[in-house]
């Protein structure tokens, strides 16, 4: 028997997306978004939900671009900080000591210290209650050389990303690889 918990936003896992944008004066900002995910394979697209009252919202609506930087566990403090405080109250790059780098492809800043970065142009906005979903076309993915495996693709064990748990507001590390997708299911 399952117990009903009501209409809640509980799934596992949710990501820790650090969303980068510039304001009209060119000041870089970042926020922490757990409401998001990949939303199409072609064009490669990622969705991020942002409330209209966020500083990031106005930035993305004006610049039509954003980045998503994926932090390693060693930067969990910085990632959490940018989810607590608003860019309206100060420069979060300066407060955290993180380094903004202008995207190569889009007008948005990413976090130099984080190992994986997506540069996105805004393709669509979707109103869903209190959140606006920004759908970004992924124009480029870039990664630190030292997180690539022998095939040149990002290795989760080297990136050491972490996830957000909505039920207990915990950050959880990624654990061990348990199986290969599109393979282990054929054993049945």
Strands across the sheet containing 17-22? 28-33, 17-22, 65-70, 116-128
d(CA 22, CA 98): 15
R_g of the chain, CA atoms, integer Å: 17
Least Å distance between CB 24 and its own copies?
26
Question: Under rule CB under 8 A, which residues in 162-181 are in contact with its own copies?
Answer: 162-181
**What does the alpha-carbon distance between residue 175 and residue 188 come to, in Å, rounded to a whole number?**
24
Binding mask 66-105 for its own copies (x = CB under 8 A): --x-x--x--xxxxxxxxxx---------xx-------x-
- The site map against its own copies for 26-45 (x = CB under 8 A) is --------xxxxxxxxxxxx
What are the backbone angles phi and psi of residue 182, rounded to the nearest 5°? Answer: 65, 20
**Interaction pattern, residues 109-138, with its own copies; x per rule: CB under 8 A:** -------xxx----xx-x-xxxx-x-x-xx
Number of residues that bind its own copies (CB under 8 A): 104
- CB nearer to its own copies: pick between 24 and 177: 177
């Amino acid at each position: 028997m399952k117990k009903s918990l009501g209409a809640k936003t509980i799934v596992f896992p949710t990501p820790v997306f650090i969303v980068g944008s510039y304001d009209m004066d060119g000041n870089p900002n970042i926020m922490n978004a757990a409401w998001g995910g990949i939303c199409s394979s072609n064009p490669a697209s990622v969705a991020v939900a942002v409330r209209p009252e966020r500083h990031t919202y106005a930035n993305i609506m004006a610049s039509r671009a954003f980045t998503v930087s994926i932090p390693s566990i060693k930067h969990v403090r910085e990632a959490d900080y940018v989810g607590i405080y608003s860019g309206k109250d100060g420069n979060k790059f300066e407060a955290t000591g993180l380094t903004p780098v202008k995207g190569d492809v889009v007008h948005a800043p990413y976090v130099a210290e984080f190992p994986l970065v997506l540069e996105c142009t805004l393709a669509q906005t979707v109103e869903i209650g209190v959140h606006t979903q920004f759908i970004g076309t992924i124009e480029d993915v870039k990664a630190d050389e030292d997180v690539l495996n022998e095939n040149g693709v990002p290795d989760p064990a080297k990136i050491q990303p972490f996830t957000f748990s909505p039920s207990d507001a915990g950050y959880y590390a990624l654990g061990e690889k348990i199986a290969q997708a599109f393979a282990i299911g054929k054993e049945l």
